[in-house]
Structure 1
Amino acid sequence: MIKISKEAKLARNALLTMGLENPTLKAYNGIEEKERELLIAKYMYKIMCILNLDVKNDSLKDTPIRISKMYNNEIFSGLDYKNFPKITFIENIIKSNDMIVVRDIILMSTCEHHFITIHGKATIAYVPKNKIIGLSKINRIAQFYSKRPQIQERLTKQISLVLQVLLDTQDVAIVLYMDHFCVKARGICDVNSITITSSLQGLFKSQKSTRDEFFFKNNV
Structure 2
Amino acid sequence: MKSYEKDPTLGSKVAQHLKTLGIDNPVNGNIDNNLVQQSIATLLSGLGIPLDDESIAKTPERVSRFFINELFYGLNYANFPKMTFNHNKYGYSEPVIAKNISFKSTCEHHLVTISGEAFVAYIPGNQVVGLSKLNRVVDFFARRPQVQERATLQIFRALQFLLETKDVAVLIKATHHCITMRGVSDHNVENITYQFGGQFSNSEMKRNFLELIKDNQA
TM category (shorter chain) comes to over 0.9
Matched, 1:43 2:39: yes
* Preserved contact between residue 141 and residue 154 of structure 2 (Cα < 8 Å): yes
| CA distance in structure 2 between the partners assigned to 1:113 and 1:137 by the alignment | 29
2-side partners of 1:129 and 1:64: how far apart? 48
Cα offset for 1:208? 2.2
TM-score by length of 2: 0.92
CA distance in 2, matches of 1:67, 1:112: 17
Distance 1:13 1:131 in 2: 23
Query: Is the contact between residue 156 and residue 176 of structure 1 (CA under 8 Å) also seen in structure 2?
Result: yes
Write out per-residue CA displacement over residues 93-141 of structure 1, whole angstroms, 9 at most, x where no aligned residue.
2111011000010111001111111110111001110110100000000
Decide whether the 8 Å contact of 1:183 with 1:190 is kept in 2: yes
Say which of 23, 26, 33 aligns to 1:20: 23
Q: Give the TM-score normalised by structure 1.
A: 0.91
Q: What's 1:210 paired with?
A: 205
Counterpart CA distance in 2 for 1:16 and 1:41 is 29
| Deviation for aligned residue 1:43 | 1.6
Which residue number corresponds to residue 79 of structure 1?
75
Which among 38, 51, 56 is matched to residue 55 of structure 1?
51
CA contact (8 A) 1:10 1:166 kept: no
What is the aligned partner in structure 2 of residue 119 from structure 1?
A: 115
Tell me the CA shift for residue 209 of structure 1. 2.3
Q: How far is 1:210 from its partner? A: 1.4
Q: Is the 8 A contact 1:160 1:173 kept in 2?
A: yes
Does the 8 Å CA contact 1:110/1:117 hold for their aligned counterparts?
yes
Instruction: List alignment gaps of at least 5 residues for structure 2.
Output: 1-5
Count of residue pairs brought into register by the alignment: 210
Q: Structure 2: how far apart are the matches of 1:62 and 1:5?
A: 31
Q: 1-side partners of 2:204 and 2:175: how far apart?
A: 30
Which stretch of structure 1 is more off in the superposition, 36-45 or 105-114? 36-45
- 3-state SS of 1:58 partner: coil
- State the shift of 1:17 in Å: 1.1
Offset at residue 4 of structure 1 (A): 5.7
Residues 83-102 of structure 1 aligned to structure 2 (within 5 Å): 83-102=79-98
Alpha carbons of 1:200 and 1:75: their partners in 2 closer, same or farther (altered >3 Å)? same
Residues 175-194 of structure 1 correspond to what in structure 2 (within 5 A)? 175-194=171-190
- Letter of the 1:180 counterpart: H
Q: Secondary structure at the match of 2:213?
A: helix
Runs of 4+ in 1 over 6 A off after TM superposition: none
For the aligned residues, what is the CA RMSD?
A: 1.5
Task: Name structure 1 gaps, 5 residues minimum.
Answer: none
1:109-188 to structure 2, matched below 5 A, reads: 109-188=105-184
Out of 7-16 and 86-95, give the one that drifted further.
Answer: 7-16
Q: Identity of aligned pairs, percent? A: 37
Deviations for 1:62-114, whole angstroms, at most 9, x for unmatched residues?
21111101110001100001100011001112111011000010111001111
Equivalent residue letter for 1:196: I
